[in-house]
Chain A
Amino acid sequence: MLTQSQIKKLSYLNKKIQSCHKCKNLWRNGKAFPYFTKFSQLLAIAEGPGKEEVQEDYQTPLIGKAGRLLFRELGRKEINLKRKDFMILNTVQCRPVIDGKNGKPSLEEIENCKFWTSKYIEIFSPEIIIAFGNYALNYFFEDNLGITKESGFVRHLDNGTKVIPCLHPASLLYSSDNLSLFRHSLKVFKEETIKAHILNSV
């Protein structure tokens, strides 16, 4: 459970991030504000918000097609995790756009947004993180790691926090070839939460 003090600080960041114009044009595309509840204990980090996630008013990460797929998978009996168990962040909080479509964030944009992302992570201080896709994985590790190769292996940050790399759920929207690898990573992640006594076992 988050403390009142953590909630207060995270809410404050959500307010401050509204007026961030650090990236030259990115902010014009709309933002998705990091999601958290007082029950959040795990951190999920993805790439950047898509079209659905930045719609006026809603502006919440992982509420689009990929997010729905992810939480359907997390809700399966053997994993049994809900959205409320997570704080959800993106490597960039504004929507990257290329030719009018969802794009990839640039290194500069990720670096700019680190100002915010690192603050959210510091306040939340998770024990376990699930990183969806290459951008989220390489946010933590500067070794230019490949998500397919790293999926399902447990990595550690210098402070002991565990990071479980996982394919981005959006990749499964186009092909289900990697569904078993995706499910394996979620299973590893769940096992780590049990080992750490973070959430009840299923």
Chain B
Amino acid sequence: MSHDPEKIIYFGKHSGKTVGEVRSQYLRWLVNQEWFEDSYPDLVEPVEAELDWRDKLNQHF
């Protein structure tokens, strides 16, 4: 899984921020939405990879 924390989120409250800048709570919520994969397929991998990375380093915010 490629880790790309610089991937830009172009929707919602965090519009314009990178995946790496957004709180884990929101990223977790996103990956649990049944529509996330359909709606933003290009963001699935970066978001999951970022959460994995934060899990490993225990660096959630």
Contacts and interface: CB of A to CB of B under 8 A. Distances in A.
A146 B12 CA distance: 31
Interface string A70-102: 010000000000111000000000000000000
Contacts of B15: 11-12, 14-15, 33
Interface string B1-18: 000000000111101100
> A interface, how many residues as a size bin?
20 to 34
Contacts, number: 50
Interface of B: 10-13, 15-16, 23, 25-26, 29, 33, 35, 38-40
A149 B45 CA distance: 46
A37 B12 contact: no
Contact of A71 (B26, B35, B40): B35
Interface string A105-129: 0000000000000000000000000
A185 interface: no
A37 B23 CA distance: 21
Given A58-B13, A59-B13, 5 more contacts: A15-B15, A15-B16, A58-B29, A82-B38, A83-B39
A201 B6 CA distance: 37
B39 A11 contact: no
A42 B10 CA distance: 18
Given A33-B15, A37-B40, A83-B39, A11 B10 contact: yes
B60 to A, nearest CB: 13
